[in-house]
Structure formats: C-alpha cells, structure tokens
A = this chain, B = another copy of it.
Amino acid sequence: MTFEEARALDAADPLAPWRARFALPQGVIYLDGNSLGPLPHAARDTLARTVEREWGERLIRGWNEGWMDAPARVGGKIARLIGAQAHEVTVGDSTSTNLFKLLVAALRRDPARRTVLSEAGNFPTDLHIAEGAVGCVPGAVLKIVARADVAAALGPETAVLLLTHVHYKTAERWDMPALTATAHAAGALTLWDLSHSTGAVQLDLNRAGADLAVGCGYKYLNGGPGAPAFLYVADHLQSALSNALSGWMGHAEPFGFADAYAPAPGMKRWLTGTPAVLGLAALEAGVDLWTEVDQAQVWAKSARLFDILAAAGDALGLECVTPRDPARRGSHISFRHRHAWELTQALIAGGVIGDFRTPDIIRLGLTPLYLRHEDVWRAGEIMEDVIRTDAWRDPAYAVRQAVT
C-alpha cells in the first residue's frame, strides 16, 4: 500500500470523524491505546462538571443525584458493548479485585470442584489473583497448563476456566463460544478477562453462554488511567454466587447499618466500598462515545490497520506472532525481535508510541476510533527507518516501562 492509498482509505472512512473527539498530542503516533486510551474531550468536560457542579456545589447530596447509581448505570452501558443485559454488569474496583471476587465465588459453588484452570503466560495479574483466590478456599488449587492443553485439561474437578479472551502479548483470541461449550460440557464455569477485547473486537457474552467476566476501563474504553473495571455475572448465576469482599455497598440495605451482612439482590452485591466517583465519571464519558459507534465498522477498520503494519513487518522480515486470521486475533499486532526493547525505545524516539513486552515482543495497538490509515502507514515507515538505520543500537534511549 502506498501513502496515497492509505490517505484514500481515510477519505472514505466512516469512522474518520471520531478522531476529533480525542485529545491527541502533536508529533505522536499513538499505538498504545490498548494500554492507556487517550483523553476523550468529553471526559475533560464531564470531570470538570463532576468536580465543580457536583462535588463542589452539591457536596454530600451528589450521592442521591447520580453518584450512587453510577456503578449500575455505567455497567448497563458497557453491557451493550459486550452482548450482555444491562442488569448483568456493574463497575467498580480494579480488574484484579473483580477477578478475586468472581474466582472465590466460583470456587465456592460446588465443593467437589476446587480447581481454577488457566493458561501459562496468561496476563500476570490473572494468575497472581488466582493464586490469592485459591488460598482463600480450602482445598482449592490453581492449575496452569500450556495454551494448547487448556481444553483437554478441563475435568470433573474444574470449578472455573479462567482465560483472557484476547492475549495481552500475542493478541491471540480464544473462540469464546466453543471454549465455553467445552467448559460447560465438563461442568465448569467460564471466567473471561475481556481487558483486551472490550471496544476492540465484537463480543456477545450472552450468545456465547459466558458465565462470568471482568474487563478493564482504561484501554479501548478510554476511561482514564486506573479507571474502574467492570464485572459481569450471567443472570442465571446471580443469586447463587456471593461476594467475599462483602462491603457495605453490596449490602441489601447499606443505610440500615446492621451488624450482619446480607447481600443485595442482582449485581449490587458485587460492590464493596464507596464508588470511586471521579473515576466513574471519566469512564462514563469514554463509554458514552462507544454507545454511538458501529462496532462492525470498528472491527473492519482494525483489520485494515493490521494489514498495513503486517505488510511493513513482512517487508522487514519481522516475525509476527499475532494470527493472520482476523477471527483469531484482537486489535493489536506484535512482532518478536531479540532486540525488542531497544527497538521499542527507538520507535518512541521516532514518535511512534508502542509497548515492549518482556522478553522479546514489540506490541502495537490498533484503535480505529482515532487512528488514521495514514498514521499507521507512517508508523510502518518509521519502523522501517529504525530497523534499517540501526538507530535502536544507540544506548541513549531512555528506559521506559509501560503498563499493559
């Protein structure tokens, strides 16, 4: 593809107007929206209003004027993006904490099933939290197997299959309906980490029969650094599971001030402490953008952006570890290189912000709402420059450590 062809794709792109909805710094091609999405202009305005008009003027009254409902309200909006019903999703805490809540609940469901099954190389916090969760349920164990062995490792002892739908490093995507069916055939629940999926690929949790899920607010949803995370429990499981982090906001009557805990009905029982209002406000602004977007257009554009960088990588002889088949991947592309760290630094110095992922991966995020074909084409060109000129061998590039 030539630069002119990339520009022609932009001229015909139905998503092109979305770019103006984001603050994007000059001189940067941002291929890291899968790690931290950029600032939506609306989030700036929403936060200013929340701070000035709500906190500043309404003070404590804000709780009755929208804050208390924010977890369910924002959850309901995310539900539309992931193929869930509004009453199946709530928002709060971090992805890690939400994983803990759901894993402990899943492990307690059936005393005969005490194993969390997951894959080696899953995103670290998923495995770390699973380690913590099994420590909280007598007899529970965490079983980690190679990706290829996951389906075969399901058994009568499996309580829950914990998988990240789109792999944080390679972008490989699990077949959610197929794996869920396999897990169900073995009597296990599924818990999907949708951090690299939501706002990236089209999701239909209800149709897939997914039981449980969590996901991140600060990546493709553009909810801001450390945004609250979401949590999904399929309708039919909601009354059977309860929250070990049994805080007052999940109580059936939070203002009854009783000594004994009684879980609220529905998703409210998954709340723990006081909702993080500022984080929720920024996240809601990001999510509101998504509710206007045609996700099929987003996914189609992601595939085109992928092809541009895949071609650039091919021309350089780079090893692409992301599946070529769009149905088997998410919305980033990763190359393996023994000098991946130095190359990532050199790309950043050249204005292309991507991620290094240890030990040898260059990860580039493809976010169709605000990336132009032109941008991605130029990123490929800069990548070519960097590799061909050996600029990356310069040890002066600053150390940089990014967040997934």
Would A132 and B244 count as touching, CB distance under 8 A? Answer: yes
Alpha-carbon distance between A59 and B403 when the two chains are bound, in angstroms? 11
Across-interface contacts of A366 in B (CB, < 8 A): none
Stretch at the interface among A2-10, A80-88, A272-280, A325-333: A272-280
Cβ of A129 within 8 Å of any chain B Cβ, yes or no, is yes
Closest residue of B by beta carbon distance from A120: B259
| Nearest 10 CB-CB pairings of A with B | A94-B273, A96-B247, A136-B136, A225-B277, A125-B248, A96-B273, A132-B246, A128-B261, A226-B276, A39-B56
CB-CB under 8 A from A258, the residues of chain B are: 124
One digit per residue, 1 when the CB lies within 8 angstroms of any chain B CB and 0 when it does not, for chain A 386-404 equals 0000000000000011110
20 of the cross-chain contacts (CB-CB < 8 Å) are A23-B57, A36-B55, A36-B62, A38-B56, A38-B59, A39-B55, A61-B353, A63-B225, A63-B403, A64-B401, A93-B93, A97-B97, A127-B259, A127-B261, A128-B247, A132-B247, A136-B137, A224-B278, A228-B276, A278-B282
Residues on the B chain within 8 Å of A299, using CB: none
A63-B93 Cα distance, complex, nearest whole Å: 19
Q: Is A21 an interface residue (CB 8 A)?
A: no
B358 touching A257, Cβ below 8 Å: yes
What number of copies of this chain does the assembly contain? 2
Contacts of A259 in B (CB 8 A): 120-122, 124, 127, 144
Chain A interface residue bracket vs B = 35 or more
Check A357 for interface membership: any CB of B closer than 8 A.
yes
Query: Would A246 and B56 be within 8 Å (CB), given that A124-B259, A273-B97 are in contact?
Result: no
A149 surroundings in chain B (CB, below 8 A): none
Q: Mark A86-124, 1 if CB is under 8 A from B, else 0.
A: 000000011111001000100000000000000011111
Q: Are A353 and B248 in contact (CB under 8 A)?
A: no
Residues of B within 8 A of A243 (CB): 132
